[in-house]
Amino acid sequence: MDNRSQTRITIVDIAREAKVSAKTVSRVIRGDDYVSKETFERVQEVIDRVGYRPNRAARSLASNRSGVIGVVIPNVNNPFFSEVVRGIEDTAIQQDYNVLLFSTDGHQERERAAYRYLEENGVDGIIIDLPLIPTEELETVLRRQKFAILIDQPRVVGATGVVRIDLYNAITKAVDHLMRTGCRNLGYLNAIGQTYTFTERMRGVRDAITRSGLPLTLGQFGQCNDTLEDSFRVARELLIQNPKMDGLICFNDVIGIGALEACDDLGIEVPDQISITGFDDISLAGLTRIGLTTMRVPKRQIGIEATQMLLNCLNGIEGSLDIVMNAELIQRKTTRRVNQST
C-alpha cells in the first residue's frame, strides 16, 4: 500500500527525533532566531531525512500571516494579463511569497467570489488589475484587506498604492500618429466596461480628435468584448457602417488583431484604405503577418512594480505608492509611415 493515509509528520515528531523542543524546530525552520550551530544542523538533518514540510494552515493561523498574495485579473487568457501575472509571480516567489490567482472573466460575480475567498484566506495583501465592481463596493473590499495595490485604476479610498500607465497620453499618441499619417476619419473600438481604463482611453481619443478640429459622431465608436471573436464581429459591423473610416484605434492588441481580421474578411487593405492601432504590444502584434502598430506597455514591469510595492508595505519599507509609467509608440505595418500623407 501507499502511505497516503498515514498521519502527517509534525514539528513535534521532528522535535522528539532531534531531542529538542518543538519551538526550537520552529526556530530552525524559519531561521530568524537564536539557534546554536550544532542544534541547527542536527534538527535540519532530521527534517531533510524524513522530508518534513511545515503545515501552512497551522502556521498562518498561529502567526496571522500567510505568505500569500492574492491577485485578481479579468483573464489569464489575455496575453497582456498573463505577462503582468508573470511579473507578479516572479517577484513574489523571489521573496518567498506565493500567488493566489483569480480570473474573473469579466464577470462581477466571479470577481466578488474572488474577494470573498481572499477575505477568508487572510492573504497578506492583494493586487487587483482592472476591478469591475462599482467603486463603492470596491472600497469595502479593500478596507477588509491589510494591503491592496491597484493596477490601471485611479486611487480609491482603501487602496494602499497604485501602479498605472498614463493611458490618456498613450492613446493620444496613437491618435496623433494616425493624424500625422493622413487619417481624417477616425474610429475607436473600445472594450466593454465603465471603469478607469475604459473611460480614460475614451477621453483621450475624444480629446485628441476634437483638438484636431475633426468632427465627432457617435457612429465612429464601437464596443466589444476582449476576444478575437467578438472584436472581429463588432469591427466588421463598424467598418460596414462607416465605409469612409480611414483609421481605427483599438482598445488593445487582441481587439486590434480582431479588427485586422475583419478588414481582411471585408477585403479592406491595411494600411492603404485604413490604418489600425492596438495597445499593449503583446508578442503576437510583432508577427510579420500581423505587424500591428501599437503602444508598447511595460507589462511585466507593471507586475514587478506592483508586487514590489506590496512587499515593501508588508516589510514596512517606505517607497512610492503611486507609480505612473508611459507607453511607447511602436510603428509597424498597419499604419502608414510618418510624412507619407494623403
Partner DNA sequence: ATCATGTATGTCAACGTTGACATAATTAGT
Partner DNA sequence: ACTAATTATGTCAACGTTGACATACATGAT
Q: Enumerate binding residues for DNA (CB under 7 A).
A: 7-8, 10-12, 19-24, 26-27, 29-30, 33-40, 54-55, 58-59, 61-64
> Which of DNA, a copy of itself, none sits in contact with 213, Cβ below 5 to 8 A by type?
none
Q: Write the burial class of residue 180 (CB in 10 Å: 0-12 exposed, 13-18 middle, 19+ buried).
A: middle
Phi, psi of 155, rounded to the nearest 5 degrees: -60, 135
Give the nearest distance from C-beta 210 to a copy of itself in angstroms.
Answer: 34
Give the nearest distance from C-beta 11 to DNA in angstroms.
Answer: 3
> Which of DNA, a copy of itself, none sits in contact with 23, Cβ below 5 to 8 A by type?
DNA
Give the nearest distance from C-beta 104 to DNA in angstroms.
Answer: 25
Cβ burial 51-77 (10 Å sphere, 16+ → b, else e): ebebeeeebbeeeeebbbbbbbbbbee
> Closer CB to DNA, residue 25 or residue 313?
25
Instruction: Find the helix packing angle between 22-30 and 37-50, rounded to 10°.
Output: 90
Alpha-carbon gap, residue 256 to 187, rounded angstroms? 12
Chain positions contacting a copy of itself, by CB under 8 A = 2-4, 8, 51, 53-58, 60-61, 66, 76-77, 79, 82-83, 85-86, 89, 93, 98-101, 103, 110, 113, 116-117, 119-122, 143-146, 158, 227-229, 257, 260-261, 264-265, 283-284, 287-290
For the chain, the maximum distance between any two Cα atoms, rounded to a whole number of angstroms, is 85
> Closer CB to a copy of itself, residue 51 or residue 215?
51
Alpha-carbon gap, residue 267 to 14, rounded angstroms? 72
Give the nearest distance from C-beta 261 to a copy of itself in angstroms.
Answer: 5
> Closer CB to DNA, residue 122 or residue 193?
122
Q: How far, CA to CA in Å, does 142 sit from each of 4, 46, 136, 197?
A: 40, 43, 10, 19
Give the nearest distance from C-beta 44 to DNA in angstroms.
Answer: 12
Alpha-carbon gap, residue 123 to 100, rounded angstroms? 9
Give the nearest distance from C-beta 144 to DNA in angstroms.
Answer: 14
> Which of DNA, a copy of itself, none sits in contact with 112, Cβ below 5 to 8 A by type?
none
